[in-house]
Amino acid sequence: MELWLISLLAALRPIFSIDFDRFLGVGNLSEITAIVLSVAVIGGLLIRAATNKDLRLGVTDLLIALWVAWCTAIYLIYYDKTVFVQLAKYVIPLCTYVVVKQVVRDRASQLRVIWTMILGFVLPTVISAGMIVMGEGLDVINYWTKEPRYKGAYANPHDMGHQMAFLVMISWIYVLLSNRSQAAGTGSWVSRRGVFLTVLSAMALYCVYMSAVRTTMVGLFVFGATLSIFHYKRRLIVLVVGALAVSAFFFFGPVKHYLFREAAQAKKDVTFNADLYGSGRPMIWGEYLDAFFSMPIDRQVAGIGIGNSKSKGNKNSDWLTIDGHNDFLDVLVFTGYIGLVLYLAIHAAFLSKILKLHGGERYGFLALLGAAMLMNFFSNSYFSRFALAQMLYAVLAYIELRPRSSEEAEGVVATMNPISTWR
């Protein structure tokens, strides 16, 4: 039952990230569906734990429990300044990791969960790519460069760009994990799924490009570079691609304007200054830190309250109206020093588990975690975006599977190979 619910969540999460308010006039459908499904999954796990007493708990689970307790305490302390939906967004994604690792106990089941999630991306990817090709789904045309930014079927370009980039990364992860299973089982990974994933990833990359979300492009480059250097041993390719990218930036005007739209603004706007690069991130980060460090020490330790921000739609907020454009900064401001330490400790625990994996598994998840954390630093990505965070941690739960020796794998993979069913 719990595995079925997890598979349902994996399939519906990408679909319900579409902007249903625009298409159906139904607001908050994505958030409501996600919370209902998540509560059902967590409830199923609790029932299972009460009846079977079959739980695997470790240091990571303890850190996540402390994170949930701390966020809940902050919510209660600042109840007049906080928002319950924001609390749910902070705690449910990491709870999803705990649930998935408890329910999904073998590689075949985890691969099926990832595959189901990929299938869930088909509808939003096809709709978004089709809308862009037909000239629909336009969000804005940059005033200085006249370049369009598309949002496809999503609420904004950032949602589309991050969702599509995540699809590309988990598709590659799926191929890596499937290749390992095939190496121990039934041969090379050449199937209809390979063609399907190639086409779907190509459409996703097209959407990433048309969204013009630079953070996602940096994240994808880091993801690909990590795999190329450590897994495929293609350091020269990374150097050549990096050199071409730098050369294009300096010598090819359209690339420079696409990646740094502020360069065009700087030539025409006499009031422009360096703090406005990166959509004003240097200025925003400076204002955030100045405001945070000016607060009493107790509020620095405990944060200002989860959801205590006018930019999050909280009219009772006493915080700045601007968005932080940095997930780590948001964690610091809203949960304080203790929250940031817990958040970093949880991801350090993830890294420790990833480094214990073998071959493509290790480098695939290292690339995924590294890219996600980099995008968290430069934008509101895998923390602020509820759907992205929940899907990321559901996929990351694979690292909890106990490693098997090659002899054990040879005797098991052939009987539980999820790839050979569709060729």
Asked if residue 378 is part of any domain, the answer here is yes
421 is a domain residue: no
Q: Which residues contact 345 (CB under 8 A, 6 or more apart)?
A: 63
At residue 140, the 3 state secondary structure works out as strand
Q: Give the pLDDT band of residue 25 (cuts 50, 70, 90).
A: low
Residue 418 located in a structural domain = no
Residue listed under structure tokens 């050979």: 420
**170 falls within a domain:** yes
> How would residue 315 be classed by pLDDT, with cut points 50, 70 and 90?
confident
**pLDDT at res. 180:** 64
> For residue 422, is it within any domain?
no
DSSP class per residue in 68-110:
HHHHHHHHHHTTTT--HHHHHHHHHHHHHHHHHHHH--SHHHH
Whether residue 166 lies inside any domain: the answer is yes
Task: Summarize pLDDT for 348-373 with one digit per residue, the tens.
Answer: 999 999 999 988 899 999 999 999 99
Q: Is residue 25 part of a domain?
A: yes
Domain count, the chain: 1
Whether the per-residue pLDDT at 322 is higher than 50: the answer is yes
Q: Which of 155-169, 355-369, 396-410 has the lowest mean pLDDT?
A: 396-410
Amino acid at 103: V
C-alpha to C-alpha distance for 278 and 276, rounded to whole angstroms = 6
**Rounded-to-10 torsion of CA 394, 400, 404, 410:** -10
Can you tell me which residue has the tokens 């088909």? 122
CA distance 35 to 51: 24
Burial zone of 294 (CB within 10 Å; 0-12 exposed, 13-18 middle, 19+ buried): exposed
Which residue in this structure is represented by tokens 């307790």?
69
Where is mean pLDDT largest: 88-92, 343-347, 415-419?
343-347
Token couple for 119: 């299938």
Can you give the pTM of this predicted structure? 0.86
Segments forming the whole domain that contains residue 291: 2-413
Domain contains 8? yes
Work out the burial of residue 404: count CB atoms within 10 Å of its CB; fewer than 13 is exposed, 13-18 middle, 19 or more buried.
middle
Question: Poorest-confidence range of 58-62, 195-199, 256-260?
Answer: 256-260
